[in-house]
Structure 1
């Protein structure tokens, strides 16, 4: 692939905010000419911060432009792959929730679904749904993995928590749903298996509602509707359901959880899921070099001090797009040492606010002709 140039040398740069510039340029890819849009974000500039764009609930969606304007972001791109459809489970609602972990303002919103339950292209070898890109409290960006650590404590002992605000639970586990989940049905959490997203929904389920440390209600099937603050809904399937059936109304229950990083001891202020494509300046082995598509990705440059938000244009003349291997190469050419693939196709959207404007504008052409609502994204904000 040819035609890429270092991010700081690309022509036509526009200053969006202190430490934030926007550029667009052509890439001659294997399957034809494509067009890329790039936001360069200098994390050393304390007038700027990066955080999660999301609609206020895990199981909800909004367009990137609306999320950015609602939260006051000056720029952003779409984020993680998500539970977009449920054609294999008739009568079960798609939740719209993302695949991987999510952290905003240092607070864990959700954990990752099992690898076999993810939506999106085949994962590169050695990657999984727990992979994230994040920015720590030290203002450095990193690639990492976030795993759920948690338990349900009862008078009979502790039960390991298998999920947190996620649309699919491991077989035989118990998952916790909080007010952060939203009002979507929790039935989808008991469908499929750890290795087969299309497997039937479990027939052995149970739900327990805990409020202020006490069981207040139980049900044989997962429910729906908003969850009040101070309330946790526990959903069990198979062995997990059997354990929950032992909890009577009024029983004392403690629910505790956190996300644990595998590579860094520095807490994350922001993180979201996807999968890595570039590490240490080298593309991951086994990246797809055959399937071209419209893509969104993010690169990490200058030892974690600069982010490059990257989106391929979806206009008809550019829609052949890039392969995942070409995405890794493009971000390396832009100066990235690490890179991370996000949801693409109709989800790919990059927005930025022109200086003096009150709202962002969509800078690429979404391949579907209009913006697709998505569960989250990466937002760039003026600090303070």
Structure 2
């Protein structure tokens, strides 16, 4: 099994688009400029670690005064890198401060939107797994769920669940799109995978689950549809367990529990379940997958969300009516400079920003590209106190009153 990323362009891979093509036209969103927004130089940046600085400031917005917390990250400094904060498996959650402490990050913010509730599916537990693709240390950990099964606000036209912000092998940050390119092969016949370590699979597909999924039930994978997250769970399902590439067991319903090292579980729904039923004990099945990028870049790290700013201009169609606490990433200086931006959730600031105001705030910092991450009670920014050898503290006030466990985050590491 290949868990390594691949560059797009292989035979059978559909054509990809660069993110600037997500919208046919980029335009300034009316009212996006923040009245009274502090310019990037208005507040002193304080040092967190070599190449990493922090600042906080007020800004005026449609819902009242918001308070921003920002990390400035200099990726031109060879000692500095960004990486994925996550609990070690996809179907699990932990707080940003505990993830940063466990992985040795000097700072970080929360990451992608995630499967937080399954109220529409009685008896099915939320998995905690993220919506979009995830890459850590150059390894593809999971693919994106179908667009209709995403959580979070509506993205701008043309954006989908494959959207990522990441850092390539060249050390530069960029926005991109990562598409699953995977298959399972039986007796010389190769069939496509519809997902890898995802909380939701496309209808009629087969998904692969590895030890990196975790021990949470895989039942949620066959719930919802390609058009509605709340659609009922499928009844035509089948699951096959592979050990060292051979079929060792099967079940008519998706199971739970940790997946052993060297094993892969294939979960099928509808027509995918019908295909899996044809497999027999001892039969050899080869599984391979990778994430192909629209820009043909190889990634060291990537996390999901959706784009808000491209080429220094807000994407057309950004929401300008709903204000909330937000977390976002800005990229400047050709990918060498990154801004990790989080709003404060204290009661006096809880009105927050609209998505179009987030784009404007990132641009005021000097970003030319911008990307929205999860917000609300998930919004958290942590950083090591200046001069401290270890240990991060939460710099903003999470709107839940305490840190919310999240699926993943963006960590800042300094060697």
Scaled by the length of structure 1, the TM-score of the pair is 0.98
Aligned to 2:355: 324
Contact 1:43 1:305 in 2 (8 A): yes
Cα distance in 2 between the residues matched to 1:338 and 1:382: 23
Cα distance in 1 between the residues matched to 2:261 and 2:368: 41
Does 1:232 find its partner at 2:264?
A: yes
Aligned to 2:171: 139
Cα distance in 1 between the residues matched to 2:191 and 2:298: 26
Contact 1:6 1:335 in 2 (8 A): no
Contact 1:313 1:364 in 2 (8 A): yes
Contact 1:61 1:373 in 2 (8 A): yes
Contact 2:38 2:59 in 1 (8 A): no
Q: What RMSD, in angstroms, separates the aligned Cα atoms of the two structures?
A: 0.9
**3-state secondary structure, aligned to 2:358:** helix
Contact 2:237 2:270 in 1 (8 A): yes
Aligned to 1:112: 144
Does 1:313 find its partner at 2:339?
A: no
1:151 to 180, 183, 207: 183
Aligned to 1:360: 392
Aligned to 1:82: 114
Aligned to 1:17: 49
Cα distance in 2 between the residues matched to 1:357 and 1:290: 43
1:205-244 superposed matches below 5 A: 205-244=237-276
Contact 2:331 2:368 in 1 (8 A): yes
Cα distance in 1 between the residues matched to 2:75 and 2:42: 19
Aligned to 1:349: 380
1:297-327 C-alpha deviation (Å, 9 max, x unpaired): 0000001001100001000000000000000
Cα distance in 2 between the residues matched to 1:103 and 1:378: 11
Point out the more displaced range, 315-324 or 348-357: 348-357
Runs of 4+ in 1 over 4 A off after TM superposition: none
1:240-286 C-alpha deviation (Å, 9 max, x unpaired): 000000000100100010000012x3310000000000010110111
Contact 1:183 1:227 in 2 (8 A): yes
Cα distance in 2 between the residues matched to 1:181 and 1:278: 32
Does 1:284 find its partner at 2:284?
A: no
Aligned to 1:127: 159
* 1:357 positional shift: 4.6
1:165-314 superposed matches below 5 A: 165-263=197-295, 265-314=296-345
Cα distance in 2 between the residues matched to 1:159 and 1:11: 56
2:67 to 35, 41, 47: 35
Cα distance in 2 between the residues matched to 1:156 and 1:140: 40
Contact 2:344 2:397 in 1 (8 A): yes
Contact 2:106 2:390 in 1 (8 A): no
1:24-77 C-alpha deviation (Å, 9 max, x unpaired): 001011121110000000001011111000000000000000000000000000
* 1:123 positional shift: 1.7
Does 1:66 find its partner at 2:129?
A: no
Cα distance in 2 between the residues matched to 1:317 and 1:75: 25
Cα distance in 1 between the residues matched to 2:74 and 2:39: 15
Gaps of 5+ in 2: 1-33
Does 1:375 find its partner at 2:407?
A: yes
Cα distance change on mapping 1:357 and 1:2 into 2, 3 Å: farther
Contact 2:238 2:273 in 1 (8 A): yes
Cα distance in 1 between the residues matched to 2:370 and 2:147: 20
Cα distance in 1 between the residues matched to 2:242 and 2:42: 55
Scaled by the length of structure 2, the TM-score of the pair is 0.91
Q: How many residues align?
A: 381
* 1:156 positional shift: 6.0
Contact 2:183 2:287 in 1 (8 A): yes
Cα distance in 2 between the residues matched to 1:300 and 1:46: 17
Cα distance in 2 between the residues matched to 1:167 and 1:231: 19
Cα distance in 1 between the residues matched to 2:99 and 2:36: 32
**3-state secondary structure, aligned to 1:180:** helix
**3-state secondary structure, aligned to 2:290:** strand
